[in-house]
């Protein structure tokens, strides 16, 4: 089956929420998959984003699902391990970070810097792919 429906498992890992503090997704179990992409869905920031008020979007990985660390650039597609959203022209978009590392667990993190008093709506999705067994069954 060459369609995406049977080869990619999409899971919501953070319900959309207006946030002024760090948001971390639920753990993403990659057992049975060899790659993943995390989608950060952002909407209009109520704070004026700048060089001093910004959000950093990143991934963390883990062998045990408890202790998470930042991946190396070789663990992510195109070496991108984080994205900085620091201008009003950069909100209202979806950003992706692809993971090709060897750890079993993954989580997504959105971290504010500066005085984020009004917040920004943030949601996160995980797309697990390159499955060992196909078709992928949606839970």
Question: How much is the pLDDT for 136?
Answer: 82
> Is 1 among the domain residues?
no
CATH code for position 69: 2.60.120.380
Element (H, E) at 18: strand 9-19
Q: What is the count of structural domains for the chain?
A: 1
- Please check whether residue 114 is in contact with residue 51, taking contact to mean a CB–CB distance below 8 angstroms: no
Kindly state the tokens that stand for 68: 């998470």
Average pLDDT over every residue of 96-112? 97
Average pLDDT over every residue of 3-25? 92
> Is 92 among the domain residues?
yes
> Is 137 among the domain residues?
no
> Is 72 among the domain residues?
yes
> Is 115 among the domain residues?
yes
- Based on its alpha-carbon atoms, the radius of gyration of the chain, rounded to whole angstroms, reads 15
> Is 108 among the domain residues?
yes
* Residue 138 in this model has a pLDDT that exceeds 90: no
What is the spatial order of strands in the sheet that 94-99 belongs to? 9-19, 120-131, 33-42, 94-99
> Is 2 among the domain residues?
no
pTM of the complete model? 0.93
Which residue range is the domain that position 57 belongs to? 9-131
Beta carbons within 8 Å of 128's beta carbon, 6+ residues apart:
8, 9, 11, 28, 30, 33, 35, 36, 136
**Confidence band (pLDDT; 50, 70, 90) for 139?**
low
Average pLDDT over every residue of 1-14? 85
**Confidence band (pLDDT; 50, 70, 90) for 76?**
very high
Average pLDDT over every residue of 100-122? 96
């Amino acid at each position: 089956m060459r369609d995406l429906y049977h080869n990619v498992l999409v899971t919501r890992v953070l319900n959309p929420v207006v946030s002024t503090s760090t948001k971390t997704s639920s753990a993403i179990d990659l057992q049975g998959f060899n790659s993943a992409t995390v989608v950060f869905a952002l909407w209009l920031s109520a704070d004026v984003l700048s060089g001093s008020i910004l959000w950093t979007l990143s991934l963390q990985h883990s062998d045990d699902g408890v202790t998470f660390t930042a991946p190396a650039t070789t663990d992510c597609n195109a070496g991108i391990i984080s994205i900085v959203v620091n201008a009003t022209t950069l909100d209202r978009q979806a950003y992706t970070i692809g993971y090709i590392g060897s750890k079993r667990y993954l989580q997504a993190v959105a971290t504010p810097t500066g005085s984020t008093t009004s917040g920004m709506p943030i949601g996160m999705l995980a797309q697990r792919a390159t499955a060992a067994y196909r078709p992928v069954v949606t839970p």
